[in-house]
Structure 1
């Protein structure tokens, strides 16, 4: 093999020889012809060695005409122009009397392009990077650039020691094979991620904030533990946001540096920070500098009070409320200007909201680029501003955040530029799309339902319309579950979601002496009621059937004899959640309340009411999370109907420490003593999540819990003395291990029942996929 740079070295040698020849001619010329020593004149120009390139093209690069007097420097310039054209491997410019000979050797044609030594990256991935092409002229500079691009791709994936060398293999007919020899090297992982200058928060807590992670024993699966220099800028930003949201207004990242080990197989990343002190809100005032605008009206819509932790988000949210009020009142070009004064002694920030007149600037147009799949309308509806509206920089920034929150784009930049006039601006949206769909095949496992096979398809941006589509099929040892769901998030272009779904479920489990079949169709709409609240309206048409009951419980015999029952219901669900978009970064609350009214048709008639209240907070430098959950439900039968076992509650997953169908009313007089479920349930769960002292990158934390609750109440116990459906509380305590793995967050529960009934079925160990409320 011959390196691609060898031809360039030969060309430079010939250039040096030509320059020496021309210099010698220049030096000796004064002794021969003093009057004309510095110039040449050629009556003939001959081009030799060219095969594909036309002689006229070469002469055009040379720029020398017959009979024209040229100097030695001009000849050198002609050589440089021909050599720099990138068409020739070697160039010689040789004066011979009145004839100028231009002798060239054309670069060869690339026959094929190969990659050798690459194992981690496929040939197709590397081929997409290179600019060199088969059946095109070989260019050493392009090959070097391609090698650098391949090495950069390896560097981004953490292989900083990777080297790529372009080489050529000479073939006949002036052809070459271009080969990129790759030495991948080892992944350069982050061996230690540390902080200097942090006092309020531990290294462990700050590592949870960063996108970059330390390498642990899951290093085979975790891609974020490889060192990527560009990721440090994102880490600096999220670290700054973390401190600012907690009142540290003077926080700075002084330095974010990385050192590579001598063996170049590990990186040590250190963030040097200056925390400062936390500040809270002091005096809050509102003033108006616009005649006729009452500041008191704007003060009434504020949600800020003295003593709150100062955060930029708190200020922005209140500015947004006041600017929205101005729009409702028809006040255009009104801006809310926050004026901050510090009281360093009291660690307080006094805020004055000034209502001022803004510049008269309009949005001329909104240009969107980079969206090959996503429709323009999906991006445009994230803007509250349209062409012709007054320009509001804050609204544009919030629109950019909404676009990024869609999850459709790996990058989204929104910038405003001057328009066609001084009072016009153009909003440019530049996005880079990313995959939004997934097709998964896998195995599932549950202590209660055994193993199963799962096939699922999901698409978050169906046909580029921002719609969500999901299909799933789960076949287990004891049950089958298939479902379909579709959601349109912006029905009729409004902030109104529309959903439709269907399901088919069957069960044949060991926890009951009967089989069930559930078929259903659901649809609904949802819309926000406020910044933190949402309301969903739903409709359900379903058919539930109990079959193959082989027990002797009079209650279950009567219910199975009724066959398949159809249910038609309307319902609603209200939710208020401050955990994500609220102003307290250390916690929040979640409230849910819903009802379903069955009886508009079909065979059942009842009202089902459910409620949930959750509160959580972080303590001990935010390393421990405390959580309390109160949940309950009630089914009230109407019109002389009685509830069936397919409708009632069993407390499954509500109270830990018991098997599925392990608590609640039970017919003790029956041989199988199957659980009957209850029309009511209530539970209180108290949890604490905390670190176990293991490295954070392992993704393993611990938890403790206390569950207290009960399932009770039946409609059809008359004359059956062996059933006790009264309120009987159960209580369990336990310890949990949370493990964040590539297949999902696993939760291992070890529990012990403090209070139970003799017929309850305990479960001291449980493995589940951890879920969120």
Structure 2
């Protein structure tokens, strides 16, 4: 702004004046001598001339100016014209200069961006950075946009854990009014979370609460573990997880009042402190159901609450009860029924009374469901998670449950489900906005055991195959003696219903593996359907076709194996089967407990060479004690196989279920044969008890300890005639072992070391004092 106009602003107290060059100096000097009334002076221009433009048409500039010819124009009008032209973002410099009856508008256009470069980046590649910024080559240079791009790049590095990253934009002038833009990047080191602490936690230790958070402390594998980098966007999620953890354990009024994050002086790490007010632990006292709808009997719904007196308070228990009651109302044909849980608490007794009120909700319908953001995933994959369709009564709770089911698919990074009014007040439109994430993986892994040695495996998995929500997996594995391959396909919602269809196939070969002296081939394919039969129970029905082959039995092996090769060496089997599973984790209210039961049978004889079947059962439970620092596990399993023409060793059990013993290390054995061959058994049982607990190491190392006790047996043969007709002992001899374990959630996968001691065994058993298992993808 010129000095003359600054003086004029002081004299006239004008709020808006023309900037430098807005009015030629002679007019400005004349205005300086005028009294305050001079601000009302007006001008009129017979013509408006535009200069300096090369790309932008004069008509476009005149449209921004809005200066009419031969019409009165005030100083405020000229200032407004300047602001409009300058604010268009098209020009680097603008001036408005009256020359007699002509107004000259001079502009200097922003240059065109020729090239955009990134310098100094190593962690994030150019292609990824180019997707973050808004500036593009061959577009008009915009300084504000370039500065915003620098901020976007800094934020991208911050989300990757590099809070000290610095991005400086540089503009290089070229000929023909063009510029190059270079973003100079100093990536810095990863800003990790050095320590996470808590204040106010009395019931649970810092170690236990750290397990709840999505953010983790930096450990020895901080280079590979991304969750130990500081990400401010993850803090609200951590607060929510912490609140839900406490509420699920009865702390109804828990509060996470704040999170303090302090950066170290070196700017390479953060110390995080979560402030917790636990409050009192509550339990359910009186739970009842009332109906405020004429003709609707509350007694029929009361039993659906399934909340016992004295049970630990949990919001999930209330939500499940409400969902069951509302679903029952729909089955009963009662529309627009809402269940209103009315909660009253008694701080004196630390109890909660809940009254489930059946009330009539508003007559509102779902007009339509709009899905946006999905580029690869088909709409029907999202839509099938809704139990509501267009025209159904609108139920807010069911919409929220559908949103949770969409998130649970794992196909999307973000899921936002909102509701707005439709074409009329009694109509609702459900908007679903999703952000997709990668769902495929290519894995290479390694495994090791004393029996099979070092193994390598590779897998290719896609959980959202062709955007249809289907799973496709291929796997290959090999050890020194075994080769395995498999394929699996799963359609979780067959024909749009809550029925899972799967198809699996395997092909395995072995050569003198696992205490055996023969070669094997196993091939099978199995289509299956799985569907719910209760809230926690599911039933799978299948049909399986396969072929087992035993060959190249060593000449010094047991006559039993030689006869099996001669008479049953290559067998084809075919038949139906089923598996029933009961899993409390599906809707478990108390997260400290979990139990799973399974029972399965397969029947052979509908084609093929084998007539018989196999039956197995397993029950396993888990409980967390000592403020959930220690996990106890126990299981009991058993199985039996029977065929009319006798079984082969491939169909019998090998005893690998009992730790401390090798595969085919227990069970019937022909000691008279030269190889002292293991024969396997038609029956088995195994019992396991295990405890896992911290051993004092920093939890960021991911190392815990354990102890276990196993017992079991393998027994029963159809053919017991060994060398020289001697009887092979196939009785049920109990074996047992004890041991210690080291669990390590390492940066390359979960690893477990077992050190076992057989305390009850037969003289001919093959023990395995040490076993290391490593299953990983990297």
* TM-score range for the pair, normalised by the shorter chain length: over 0.9
The Cα shift of 1:19 comes to 6.2
Corresponding residue to 1:622 among 596, 617, 628: 628
Q: Which residue of the partner structure matches residue 521 of structure 2?
A: 517
CA deviation map 1:86-118 (0-9, x unaligned): 222222333344444333222211111101011
Contact 2:421–2:428 under 8 Å retained in 1: yes
Contact 1:449–1:509 under 8 Å retained in 2: no
Corresponding residue to 2:357 among 349, 354, 357: 354
Q: Which residue of the partner structure matches residue 9 of structure 1?
A: none
CA distance in 2, matches of 1:35, 1:353: 76
| Structure 1 length-normalised TM | 0.94
Contact 1:26–1:37 under 8 Å retained in 2: no
Q: Which residue of the partner structure matches residue 610 of structure 2?
A: 604
Q: Which residue of the partner structure matches residue 409 of structure 1?
A: 412
Q: Which residue of the partner structure matches residue 527 of structure 1?
A: 531
Q: Counterparts of 1:400-549 in structure 2 under 5 Å?
A: 400-510=403-513, 511-549=515-553
Q: Which residue of the partner structure matches residue 235 of structure 2?
A: 232
Corresponding residue to 1:764 among 754, 763, 769: 769
What is the SS of the residue equivalent to 2:85? helix
Q: Which residue of the partner structure matches residue 745 of structure 1?
A: 750
CA distance in 1, matches of 2:404, 2:277: 28
CA deviation map 1:690-731 (0-9, x unaligned): 012222222111111000111111110046435211111111
What is the SS of the residue equivalent to 1:707? strand
Q: Counterparts of 1:20-419 in structure 2 under 5 Å?
A: 25-26=28-29, 30=33, 38-419=41-422
The Cα shift of 1:526 comes to 0.8
Q: Return closer, same or farther for 1:24/1:202 CA change in 2, 3 Å cut-off.
A: farther
CA distance in 2, matches of 1:556, 1:130: 70
What is the SS of the residue equivalent to 2:585? coil
CA distance in 2, matches of 1:714, 1:404: 51
CA distance in 1, matches of 2:319, 2:148: 46
Contact 2:447–2:774 under 8 Å retained in 1: no
CA deviation map 1:456-487 (0-9, x unaligned): 21111112221111111223321111111111
Q: Which residue of the partner structure matches residue 682 of structure 2?
A: 679
| Structure 2 length-normalised TM | 0.93
Q: Which residue of the partner structure matches residue 9 of structure 2?
A: none
1:554 maps onto 2:572 in alignment: no
- Structure 1: gaps spanning 5 or more residues: 1-13
Contact 1:42–1:100 under 8 Å retained in 2: yes
CA distance in 2, matches of 1:35, 1:443: 88
> Is the deviation greater in 98-107 or in 319-328?
98-107
Contact 1:129–1:150 under 8 Å retained in 2: yes
> Is the deviation greater in 210-219 or in 430-439?
430-439
Q: Which residue of the partner structure matches residue 578 of structure 1?
A: 584
CA distance in 1, matches of 2:334, 2:749: 50
CA deviation map 1:195-228 (0-9, x unaligned): 1100001010000001011111111111011111
What is the SS of the residue equivalent to 1:346? coil
The Cα shift of 1:251 comes to 0.5
Contact 1:26–1:72 under 8 Å retained in 2: no
CA deviation map 1:120-146 (0-9, x unaligned): 100001111122111222111111111
Q: Return closer, same or farther for 1:93/1:199 CA change in 2, 3 Å cut-off.
A: same
CA distance in 1, matches of 2:575, 2:179: 74
Corresponding residue to 1:644 among 644, 648, 651: 648
CA distance in 1, matches of 2:280, 2:72: 78
CA distance in 1, matches of 2:338, 2:547: 57
CA distance in 2, matches of 1:18, 1:517: 91
What is the SS of the residue equivalent to 2:410? coil
CA distance in 2, matches of 1:542, 1:98: 98
What is the SS of the residue equivalent to 1:18? coil
- Paired residues in the alignment total 755
CA distance in 1, matches of 2:406, 2:355: 31
CA deviation map 1:133-185 (0-9, x unaligned): 11222111111111111111111111112121111112222221111111112
Contact 1:441–1:454 under 8 Å retained in 2: yes
CA distance in 1, matches of 2:502, 2:527: 5
Q: Which residue of the partner structure matches residue 754 of structure 1?
A: 759
Q: Return closer, same or farther for 1:736/1:74 CA change in 2, 3 Å cut-off.
A: same
How big is the alpha-carbon RMSD for the aligned residues of Structure 1 and Structure 2?
Answer: 2.3
> Is the deviation greater in 610-619 or in 23-32?
23-32
What is the SS of the residue equivalent to 2:259? strand
What is the SS of the residue equivalent to 2:326? helix
Contact 2:450–2:772 under 8 Å retained in 1: yes
Q: Which residue of the partner structure matches residue 733 of structure 2?
A: 728
Q: Return closer, same or farther for 1:172/1:703 CA change in 2, 3 Å cut-off.
A: same
